[in-house]
Chain A
Amino acid sequence: AQKITQTQPGMFVQEKEAVTLDCTYDTSDPSYGLFWYKQPSSGEMIFLIYQGSYDQQNATEGRYSLNFQKARKSANLVISASQLGDSAMYFCAMREPYSGGGADGLTFGKGTHLIIQP
């Protein structure tokens, strides 16, 4: 069974609209971390935002916010006021167990290809 599910293979959005990219996860561990990365066509993976399973508030970083619904095991990325430069692949990833050393690798979803149209 997939641990990270991104149900939207691709999305087209008009510039300046808000975008929600879906991510659901599966874990039985109470401690885990969720990450979102952006991968432009140039190939580099860019860290966007992090949410810990015990965090009380939804994470925000500039135009990015994470809609964390723990009971639903959902961690959707919201991009406000989308820009042409937001066009990229977006990956949701999970680290489990939530270890102090942070040495565990990430489990990635298959990604969502977001295209922002002018």
Chain B
Amino acid sequence: DVKVTQSSRYLVKRTGEKVFLECVQDMDHENMFWYRQDPGLGLRLIYFSYDVKMKEKGDIPEGYSVSREKKERFSLILESASTNQTSMYLCASSRSGGGNQPQHFGDGTRLSIL
């Protein structure tokens, strides 16, 4: 089974802090994604990566950056956390080779910015 592991299930940080959310997948997938999920809004794509050191902006990249130094690891960075970034963050990975490849998700990190 595909395993996507997010480093923290719950995280509380203060405004202005630099926050790192880590995601690791064990299936050698080429593609990795970061989404945020807010009630009534569904999931929205923040950034994705299709290869090591490659990144592409999603629908809501403002206030975020990402890093992919190794194939299995994709990090989301909040450069200066703000209260409107309080949300559930979901990481996903998928195999390349066809648009029918499903994305496999981690359990999510519930982030609170105080």
The chain A residues found within 8 Å of chain B, CB to CB, are: 4, 31-33, 35, 37, 42-47, 50, 52, 91, 93, 95, 98-111
B40 touches A110 (CB 8 A): yes
CB < 8 Å A-B pair total? 82
Residue of A nearest to B94 (CB): A102
Give chain B residues whose Cβ lies under 8 Å from the Cβ of A37.
Answer: 105
Give chain A residues whose Cβ lies under 8 Å from the Cβ of B45.
Answer: 105-107
B99 touches A98 (CB 8 A): yes
B109 CB, min distance to chain A CBs, angstroms: 10
Main secondary structure of the interface of A (DSSP, over half): loop
Main secondary structure of the interface of B (DSSP, over half): loop
Contact of B99 among A42, A43, A102 (CB under 8 A): A102
Give chain B residues whose Cβ lies under 8 Å from the Cβ of A106.
Answer: 33, 43, 45, 103
